[in-house]
């Protein structure tokens, strides 16, 4: 296995993506979920070959990406997916909105579990639904879904739950037992579950991630999975996501989506995703080796330079949910980090009220950049209490 190294800062600053165009050159951007590694060669070649063939028209359906995802799911999670149960669209956010439009009536309600990926507060509203918050339960050993709170929301009439698995910003992989209990509640109360599994290929331990639809017939009866190769292979800009339905109910819901939902998929993104799922395994293994090293490095750096900052190593992904509260940084530590340290972190309050005092740090960078970022943060003067 060859470890994949991050590109030099000079090369990264020539990128035109959001991560590298938002802040001045003196800021280390560790906020948005983009990685600093070069693309996997199979992905590069897939896009280049389509451009050289002038093959840049409209997609003809999920076709090869459905087969590729089904194969990847089988190899990676032992999850049996039929290609005909896979649809495609432009990205996971669109997949969520269009799925919610199928399962939630106008003026219905959707449960979310903050602290959670900020668009989760907005996507149900885009689907003409309201948001019901059932925060995660926090404990010293980690976080968990509040199943009792979720059941109360279902009893009060919620129409759907938007699940984040693995959970962003925590890197939490919900256990199979928890997912089965959620699926049982889903069927008991007739509530749909839309499971966003975009970070799933980035789990650190084999078997730590469980696909929601794999846990039971109940999960498949009311559940739809939405995911993409975009986070694991750093191809968000190529625009291709997949949706998986494995029951007669949910297959009909996918089939009932407007034709335009599928047509929005980028043909370049489709072929990039096919290459990632089929041939991107060695590259991903090399990236995971680098991420695992950085995950440990971050813990060591914080222990040395910022011992008051709380950090639970994520089970998946390259995002660290840091608790600056015990260090006295106040409710908005990301603002202090940017102003005093010139380090851009994602503000915790964007993930819900529970994020006050927290910030999210992206460690998919070089060890040198990560080390410099923590050293800069250690020099910040917290506000007077």
What are the pLDDT digits (tens) for 160-187?
999 999 999 999 999 999 999 999 999 9
Q: pLDDT tens-digit profile of 70-111? A: 999 999 999 999 999 999 999 999 999 999 999 999 999 999
Residues, the chain: 385
For residue 1, pLDDT over 80 is answered with no
Q: Where are the beta strands (DSSP E) in the chain?
A: 28-29, 86-89, 109-112, 130-133, 137-139, 142-144, 160-164, 192-196, 223-227, 241-245, 310-311, 319-323, 343-344, 346-347, 358-362
The pLDDT of 304-322, averaged and rounded, is 97
CATH code assigned to 43-279: 3.40.640.10
For residue 139, pLDDT over 80 is answered with no
Q: pLDDT tens-digit profile of 100-128? A: 999 999 999 999 999 999 999 999 999 99
Q: pLDDT tens-digit profile of 261-287? A: 999 999 999 999 999 999 999 999 999
The pLDDT assigned to 385 comes to 67
The pLDDT of 190-211, averaged and rounded, is 97
| 189 vs 121: CA distance, rounded Å | 23
Q: What is the DSSP letter of 39?
A: P
Q: What is residue 112's three-state secondary structure?
A: strand
Task: Determine contact, residues 357/325, Cβ cutoff 8 Å.
Answer: yes
Please give the C-alpha separations between residue 188 and each of 104, 145, 271, in angstroms, as whole numbers: 17, 18, 40
Task: Determine contact, residues 303/375, Cβ cutoff 8 Å.
Answer: no
Q: pLDDT tens-digit profile of 332-362? A: 999 999 999 999 999 999 999 999 999 999 9
| 340 vs 322: CA distance, rounded Å | 17
Q: What angle do CA 322, 328, 331 make, to 5 degrees?
A: 65
Q: pLDDT tens-digit profile of 238-261? A: 999 999 999 999 999 999 999 999
Half-sphere exposure of 343 (CA within 13 A, CB side): 24
Contacts of 27 (CB under 8 A, 6+ apart): 338, 342, 343, 344
The pLDDT assigned to 206 comes to 85
For the chain, what are the domain ranges?
9-38+281-378, 43-279
| 160 vs 168: CA distance, rounded Å | 19
| 276 vs 353: CA distance, rounded Å | 36
Task: Determine contact, residues 189/371, Cβ cutoff 8 Å.
Answer: no
- Its pTM stands at 0.97
Contacts of 92 (CB under 8 A, 6+ apart): 196, 198, 226, 227, 228, 230, 241
For residue 2, pLDDT over 90 is answered with no
What's domain 9-38+281-378's architecture?
Alpha-Beta Complex (3.90)
Tell me the percentage of the chain whose pLDDT exceeds 90: 97
């Amino acid at each position: 296995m060859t470890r994949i190294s991050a590109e030099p800062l000079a090369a990264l600053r020539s990128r035109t993506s959001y991560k590298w165009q938002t802040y001045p050159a003196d800021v280390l951007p560790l906020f948005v979920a983009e990685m600093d590694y070069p693309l996997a060669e199979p992905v590069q070649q897939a896009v280049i070959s389509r451009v050289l063939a002038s093959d840049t028209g409209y997609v003809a359906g999920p076709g090869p990406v459905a087969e590729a995802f089904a194969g990847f799911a089988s190899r990676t999670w032992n999850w049996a997916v039929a290609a005909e149960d896979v649809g495609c669209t432009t990205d996971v956010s669109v997949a969520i909105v269009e799925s919610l439009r199928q399962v939630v009536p106008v003026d219905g309600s959707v449960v979310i579990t903050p602290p959670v990926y900020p668009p989760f507060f907005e996507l149900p509203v885009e689907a003409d639904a309201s948001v019901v918050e059932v925060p995660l339960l926090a404990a010293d050993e980690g976080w968990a879904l509040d199943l009792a709170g979720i059941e109360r929301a279902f009893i009060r009439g919620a129409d759907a739950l938007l699940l984040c698995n693995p959970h962003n910003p925590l890197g939490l992989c919900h256990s199979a037992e928890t997912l089965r209990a959620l699926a049982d509640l889903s069927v008991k109360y007739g509530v749909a579950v839309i499971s966003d599994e975009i970070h799933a290929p980035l789990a650190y331990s084999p078997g730590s991630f469980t696909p929601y639809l794999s846990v039971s017939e109940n999960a498949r009866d009311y559940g739809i999975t939405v995911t993409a190769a975009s986070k694991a292979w750093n191809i968000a800009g190529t625009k291709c996501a997949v949706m998986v339905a494995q029951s007669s109910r949910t297959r009909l819901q996918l089939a009932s989506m407007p034709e335009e939902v599928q047509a929005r998929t980028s043909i370049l993104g489709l072929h990039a995703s096919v290459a990632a799922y089929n041939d991107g395994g060695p590259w991903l293994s090399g990236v995971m080796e680098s991420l695992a090293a950085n995950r440990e490095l971050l813990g060591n750096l914080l222990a040395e330079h910022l011992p008051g900052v709380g950090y639970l190593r994520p089970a998946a992904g390259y995002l660290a949910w840091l608790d600056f509260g015990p260090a006295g940084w106040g409710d908005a530590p990301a603002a202090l980090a940017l102003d005093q340290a010139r380090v851009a972190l994602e503000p915790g309050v964007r993930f819900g009220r529970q994020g006050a005092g927290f910030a999210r740090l992206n460690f998919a960078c070089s060890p040198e950049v990560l080390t410099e970022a923590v050293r800069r943060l250690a020099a910040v003067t917290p506000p007077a209490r």
